[in-house]
Structure formats: structure tokens, C-alpha cells
Amino acid sequence: MSQSSQRRVIYFPRWLELTWAGTAQVFGECSETARLVLVLFCFLGHEDVSLALCVRGVATRKRWTDSGGIADVAPGLHSPLVPLIANTNAFRFIRDELRLKGAISTSSSDTFRVNSVWRARILAAVPDELHCFWRLVALLFASHTIPWEFLEPDFRPTDMSTEVAHFHHTLLEVQNNEGYSVLDRNMKTEVISSLLEATRFTGTEGHIFAVAQSKMLIDGLNVRYLQCCVLQFVSFENTSSWANFSVIEEDYTSHGQTSKDQNGSLVSKRASTSQQTDPDLFCNIGSTLIELDDFKFAESQLRGEAMKEAEANNAIEPLLHLILAESIFAQGRFSEVEGICQEVQSQADLSNREELHVSILLAKISHVRSEWNDAFYHWSEALRTIEKSTPFHDHIARVILRSLCDVVHRQGRHNLRRKFEAKLSALGDTVLLVRGRHWITGLNLWQDGLPGSLTYMHLQVLAAKLPLQPSL
């Protein structure tokens, strides 16, 4: 072997040599750089590829660390690929070369699409032993294009459907061929986090897909914060899905207790390490802490954010007030909750969702006080509000109707109860088609206290604080 050939074998990794050798006949007269980039794109989905998507796929991005901090993380691609795509001017030359070869078709909007014939020929030419490698490279590239909400506050895309489609395609390719066992710990953490983040840009189908894949990916991954994130998403599904969630052990029903010390401080750390305060972040933190039964910590975090907003002369978002009210309601301080609801109601231009949340809070207060007439009024208002919603949120309506059934039963209005039960029955299993996209903080705790639910614990705790205890 010549000295120059030896240097070439040493300098270039084996996967690169094999890829070039395998695809040489397909490409003919084509640069090795263009050949390499096109192989990557052939392992993505069949949708368009934009220049912006390419740049995001190879850029260093901010990511949460296990300790709650923020770190700059490279995309995890093998080094020869990164400079070829990261330099937009150089990449345009590669794109033009591929267009002239007929391998891709371009549009005026800086997007292109791989020719289906070329895709088939290249996938057949890449050695079989490298298909797993390239599927993983494509998955990491696609995963890296998904923005993380609170780490990129200035990046607010209006349409991420193409990025999500490529991400889902590459994920399923790995699952259907090698299985998720080929992903190491860092890869799984990246992919699960991006899956959950991607639900902000999808409908209910995307949410259900993310939950299903995350439950498989997290198997054996001992990252408690990520487990809690997945658990929170699972909680939006109907309770039958809990039985199959083997990752969270049976005693994880006490997840609030196990997470208060480890994840409560982690959530707080993540809030404090954010580069800029975002009320939406604290709404999510507060909601998560309420789901973990850490009501006092949720209240302190939400009050702190409300004070910061007030000191900055910013209008406090109604949602921040309402989630604060949920944390206070869970502690049994109902008069304070009523005051917050009145303050929110005094604001102009409330959304349907905010009006719905106010009605539900007032209904819950009247319900636990056994003030059945008021409870009936507020639950009915909540039902009227949700019936105006598009789409109609069956899963929230189900909780409202069950609450109304309980109220009218206590009032002895049996005909009306049968009417509400008929409405409840009419919903059937359609809740499975729309669950997960819309929810109201605190409803998980409330529905667990209604007759026929898994536990009455939450309402019993609340009722114990009242002079007159409703017999739930």
C-alpha cells in the first residue's frame, strides 16, 4: 500500500470511506462533499428540506443539564458533515451541484426536495452495514432542528410541520429497524426532550405519538426529571394508560413525595438559570409542581414571578393568576381563590379558556363547601363555555359533567342527573381522539375526588378543613 493511500485510510474514518465507495457509481462525476450531504438527506423524510432546517440541524444548541443548568451542546453528528452544512455559502454550492445533477429539485423559497429515484438508488448503494449508522445520524440531525421553548425565547416559529415530519420519520426508521436499544443515554435524552417539545407544533395525533415513543425510549433511562416530564404528558391521557407505564414503578403514585426534593429544586434551578424571565415558564413550572402535589412551592414560585412582573410594571397574565389560585385552592384557602377570580374577571378581553378556568375554580369552591346551588351555576357556566370551544374538548367536558352529576344527585334532581349522564355517555370514547392538547391545571386532582374515580383523597383533605364535611 502506498504512503499516500495509508495516509488516506488513517485520516478518513471507515464509515466515510465505505459511503464514498458504495455510492461512487451512482454519483459519477460529483464531489465527495456533495455525495456525503445527499446521503444524509436520503435518510430523512420525503418532505422538503429548507436551508434554515439544515443550519439548525448542525448548530450548537442550548440544552438543559441533569443538574438544572444550561449547556451548549453540539448536534452529535460526525465532524465531516458539520462544516459542509453549517457554512451557508458553501452549502449553497453543494446544493447547486446536486440540483444540476438532477438529484434534488429546488424552489424559490430556499427549499429543496430529494428526487425519489435518486433516493432509492443511493439507499440501495449505501452498504447495509452502514444503514444503522446513517439512520442514527439522520435522527440526531432531525432532533436538533426542534426548538426548545424556554431556551430559545426569541425563536417563535409559526410552522414547524416539516421539521416535525422529518423528526418523526427518522425516529420510526430507527425503531422499525434497529430498535431504541441502539441509542445511548445522551441520544435518548435528546430525542425524548425534542419529542415533548415538538408537541407544541402538532395536534393531538402528535401528542399521542410523542407519549407512545417517549414511554418506549425512557425504558431503563434513569433521568428522574425526564421521567417526570413524560409522566406529566402521560397524565393527560385517560387513566387506562397508566397501567402500562412500566418505567414509573408502582410506588411512583407518590411521585410528588419522591420528586419534591430532587425535582422541585431542579425546577426552581431551571427557572433561575433562564436567561430571561418568561411568565409562560412559571405557569408551566407551577402546573408541574401542582401535579407533583407540591402546592406551597408552586405558590411561592408563582407569587415570586407575579411580584417581578408587577415591579416591572408589566400586566400580569390571567393564566399566571389562575394557576396561582389553583395552588392556593389545593391548600384549602378558598376565600383567597375567590379574590383572585374576581380580580381576573375584572380584566377585559378574557379568552374562552380563561373564562372556563375561572368558572371551574368557583365551581370547585362551591362544590367542596356543599353550596350546591352555586356549584350547579358555576359548573353549568363552565359547560356552556366549553361547548362554545372549537374543537370541543371532550376530556374537560367529561370532568364537568361528572361534577354536575354529583351536584344534582345531592340536590335530589334525578331527572337532571339522568340528562347529564346521557350527555356523558354520548361522549363515549371520543375523548381518546382529542385528549392531551388542552387541559386545565388542577383537574387531575379534582377528578380523582369525584365518585367513580381512583381516589377521593384530595377532596377528603379539602373537606376536612371545612366546618361541614360533604360526604364524598
Question: Which residues, listed in sequence order, are joined to residue 105 by a DSSP beta bridge?
Answer: 113
The overall average pLDDT reported for the chain is 77
- Give the pLDDT mean for 442-449: 80
Q: Is residue 125 part of a domain?
A: yes
User: Measured between alpha carbons, how far is 240 from 133 in angstroms, rounded to an integer?
Assistant: 37
Q: Is residue 225 part of a domain?
A: yes
Q: Angle at the Cα of 204 (from 44 to 437), degrees rounded to 5?
A: 125
- Give the pLDDT mean for 311-325: 83
Sign of the four-CA dihedral 349, 338, 291, 187: positive
Neighbours of 203 (CB within 10 A): 12
Q: Is residue 274 part of a domain?
A: no
| Count of structural domains within the chain | 2
Residue of 390, 357, 359, 392 whose CA lies nearest to 376 = 359
**Does one domain contain both 216 and 360?**
no
Domain that holds residue 413: 351-463
**Does one domain contain both 42 and 184?**
yes
Examine the pLDDT at 100 and tell me if it is beyond 80.
Answer: yes
CB 99 within 8 A of CB 105: yes
**Does one domain contain both 197 and 53?**
yes
SS3 72: strand
Q: In what order do the strands lie in the sheet with 111-114?
A: 49-50, 111-114, 104-106
192, 225, 251: which is the final residue of a domain?
251
Q: For residue 235, what pLDDT is reported? A: 64
Q: Is residue 109 part of a domain?
A: yes
Q: Which of the pair, 5 or 337, is modelled with greater confidence?
A: 337
Q: What is the CATH number of the domain that holds 384?
A: 1.25.40
Examine the pLDDT at 157 and tell me if it is beyond 80.
Answer: no
Lowest mean pLDDT among 189-193, 279-283, 315-319: 279-283
- What own/partner pairs with CB < 8 Å and gap ≥ 24 does 251-254 have? none
SS3 187: helix
**Does one domain contain both 26 and 139?**
yes
**Does one domain contain both 381 and 234?**
no
Could you list the beta-strand ranges (E) of 358-412. none
**Does one domain contain both 215 and 364?**
no
SS3 64: strand
202, 235, 251: which is the final residue of a domain?
251
**Does one domain contain both 356 and 232?**
no
Q: Is residue 87 part of a domain?
A: yes
Q: Is residue 268 part of a domain?
A: no
SS3 122: helix
Q: Is residue 277 part of a domain?
A: no
251, 279, 301: which is the final residue of a domain?
251
Where residue 166 falls among pLDDT bands split at 50, 70, 90? very high
Examine the pLDDT at 173 and tell me if it is beyond 70.
Answer: yes
Write down the number of H helices and E strands in the chain. Answer: 25, 5
- What own/partner pairs with CB < 8 Å and gap ≥ 24 does 422-430 have? 424/398, 427/394, 427/397, 427/398, 427/401, 430/394
Where residue 139 falls among pLDDT bands split at 50, 70, 90? very high
**Does one domain contain both 178 and 39?**
yes
Q: Is residue 343 part of a domain?
A: no
Lowest mean pLDDT among 342-346, 393-397, 443-447: 393-397
Q: Is the peptide bond before 391 cis (omega within 30 degrees of 0)?
A: yes
